[in-house]
Amino acid sequence: MPQVFNLSQTPVTAHAFSADNAQLATSFNSNDVQIFARQGAAWVPTEILSEHDKLITSIDWAPNSNRIVTSSQDRNAYVWQQTQDPSTGKLIWKPTLVLLRINRAATHVRWSPKEDKFAVASGARAIAICSFDPENNWWVSKLLKKPLRSTVLSVDWHPNNVLLASGSADMKARVFSAYIKEVDDKPAPTVWGSKLPFNTVCGEYASPSGGWVHAVSFSPSGDVLAFASHDSSISIVYPGGPTICTIRISSLPFVTLTWTAEDTVVAAGHDCQPVVFSGSEGGWQGVGSLDDSTSGKPAGPGSNSPVGRLNSAAFSTFRDADSRGHTSAKASSDAKLLTVHQNTITSIRPFETKGGRVTKVSTSGVDGNLVIWDTDSVNALAGRVGGLRV
């Protein structure tokens, strides 16, 4: 059974766990980061990190160096580090400035695997690759610009600490080299290329029907790239051919995805449930949903219809008014969605890994909930997201 935590009445824009999963950093559609600590079965708010002066868009928590990086619409990013307060002796989070040099909102941020760099996506058609400058005690950035033509919505690092994938509103997913001479050793050749000076474009892949690319992710080995776009599709790229497996889904678009094994991806978004896909270079298909929305809840009208949310309470109210002349608002009984999340899922992240497989993932949603799912309990999609075809 998924564990559900209601953290807030407002949307959860982003979430990140500490390495031991005992702490949680979230942002509730505001300028502040709220830190929670796990106490038994509950999450208890502990500290608030205030420095940004516009909405926080993304949070990432480095597992080994225990640093938090946040990005915001105020065009800034901060690296937060725990230091001892000289007067009270308590550990508090202190921000370090990052010189991003972008003139639009920062939209997404991720630490590199070695935690010596991080990438900030932005609306300035650029990705800032940041590394630490010990002389001045701040983070400096180098911008990836070409050939980005629009806002970058997401970034993801390759395990070799050099390659970076990006998804952008110009409807393309790209793979760049983010090699920084001062930080990185010369990378070994990968399937994406062998010569990798900064800003080398190793791949460019368009979404099948022209949707913004909301999410990108490298597989655990880094040899495969998955991206989800706003044309209700998910694409898996094998760079050799290149072979691109595209699955067009019959429900609303995904906005976030993560790999759980070399052959499995979990994606979630406007359809409010995490959906599992699996396959290999020969072909990919939808396996099922982690959300068992049929058990324990009354099956509402049209719960098995592929039309999905079209059969919502509002829809049936208008339909009844039209076809039967009913105007009474009796729809309150089925105003709840049948899924665990009651609104769009904003972010999905690996939560627990055992033997190289991600066994649990966490999702945060616009409904203010944080949910932890077992990736093994996949439920057949029945008719709900039926019609999945490669």
Partner 1 sequence: MAETAFRKIDIDIYDEDVLQDEELVDADPRDPVQVLNDAKQRQAAVRSALSRSDILGALNTVLENAPYGPNVEEAKTVTLQTLLTILNTTKAAEIPGVIKGLSQDNQDTLMKYLYKGMAMPGWGDISGSVLLGWHEKLTEVAGTGCIVRTMTDRRTV
Residue 131 makes contact with partner 1 by CB under 8 A: no
Pair of tokens at residue 163: 């390659």
Preceding omega of 242 cis (within 30 degrees of 0): yes
Residue 75 makes contact with partner 1 by CB under 8 A: no
Pair of tokens at residue 182: 């001062």
- The residue count for binding partner 1 (CB under 8 A) is 29
Near partner 1 by CB under 8 A: residue from 171, 236, 245, 345:
171
Smallest gap from Cβ 155 to partner 1, in A, equals 20
What region does 21 belong to: left with phi over 0, alpha with psi -120 to 50, or beta? Answer: left
Q: Is 364 helix (H, G, I), strand (E, B) or coil?
A: strand
Q: Are 178 and 119 in contact (CB under 8 A)?
A: yes
Residue 306 makes contact with partner 1 by CB under 8 A: yes
Smallest gap from Cβ 73 to partner 1, in A, equals 15
Smallest gap from Cβ 206 to partner 1, in A, equals 8
Give the nearer residue to partner 1 in terms of CB position, either 18 or 73. Answer: 73
Give the nearer residue to partner 1 in terms of CB position, either 251 or 339. Answer: 251
Residue 310 makes contact with partner 1 by CB under 8 A: yes
Pair of tokens at residue 217: 């992710």
The one-letter amino acid code at 76 reads: N
Residue 368 makes contact with partner 1 by CB under 8 A: no
116 CB-side CA count, 13 A: 15
Give the nearer residue to partner 1 in terms of CB position, either 138 or 315. Answer: 315
Smallest gap from Cβ 226 to partner 1, in A, equals 17
Determine the Cα–Cα distance for residues 365 and 272; give it in Å rounded to an integer: 8
Near partner 1 by CB under 8 A: residue from 57, 72, 233, 316:
233
Near partner 1 by CB under 8 A: residue from 183, 244, 261, 307:
307
Residue 330 makes contact with partner 1 by CB under 8 A: no
Comparing C-alpha atoms, which of 14, 10, 11 is closest to residue 347? 14
Q: Are 49 and 93 in contact (CB under 8 A)?
A: yes
Near partner 1 by CB under 8 A: residue from 63, 95, 211, 279:
211
Smallest gap from Cβ 377 to partner 1, in A, equals 24
Comparing C-alpha atoms, which of 251, 204, 203, 256 is closest to residue 229? 256
Determine the Cα–Cα distance for residues 124 and 315; give it in Å rounded to an integer: 39
Smallest gap from Cβ 214 to partner 1, in A, equals 11
> What phi and psi, each to the nearest 5 degrees, are found at residue 321?
-65, -35
Which residues of this chain interact with partner 1, rule CB under 8 A? 149-150, 170-171, 206, 209-212, 230-233, 248-253, 305-310, 385-387, 389
